[in-house]
Amino acid sequence: MRTSLRVIAVALFVVSGFGWIIEGPPSLMAQEQPKQQEEFTPIDQLPPQEQLPAAPLLVGAYAFVLLMLFGYMFIVSRRLTVIQDEVDRLDRETKRTG
């Protein structure tokens, strides 16, 4: 379980870094309330630096999901193998010593 906690902590660190890469240092504690709109502007009339692409966010989300799921499965499977091997070894020793 300690390894699982470490993996989750590392994953959180990686995701935070991903957030920084997308748009610089975000401030999670500050309430960024959406501003009230006074007019509608088509997206293609915004300067390029203000148009946020969706694809990196979407790909990042799916990549994170798969990373977490595969990571957890790998950790649990490896732990089960280690424990099972140890149980089998002790069973054999117990039977041998009577």
Distance CA(69)–CA(63), nearest Å, equals 10
**Under a CB-based contact definition with an 8 Å cutoff, are residues 64 and 15 in contact?**
yes
| Structure token digits, residue 41 | 């502007």
Map residues 1-20 to x or -, x wherever contact with other proteins holds by CB under 8 A: xx-xx--x--xx--x---x-
Q: Which of 32, 38, 39, 44 is in the footprint of other proteins by CB under 8 A?
A: 32
Distance CA(83)–CA(4), nearest Å, equals 16
Nearest-10 crossing angle of helices 55-97, 2-23: 170
Question: Can residue 21 be called a binding residue for other proteins (CB under 8 A)?
Answer: no
Question: Can residue 76 be called a binding residue for other proteins (CB under 8 A)?
Answer: yes
Name residue, tokens 């006074």: 38
Sites of contact with other proteins (CB under 8 A): 1-2, 4-5, 8, 11-12, 15, 19, 22-23, 26, 28, 31-34, 52, 54-55, 57-58, 60-62, 64-65, 68-69, 72-73, 76-77, 79-80, 83-84, 86-87, 90-91, 94
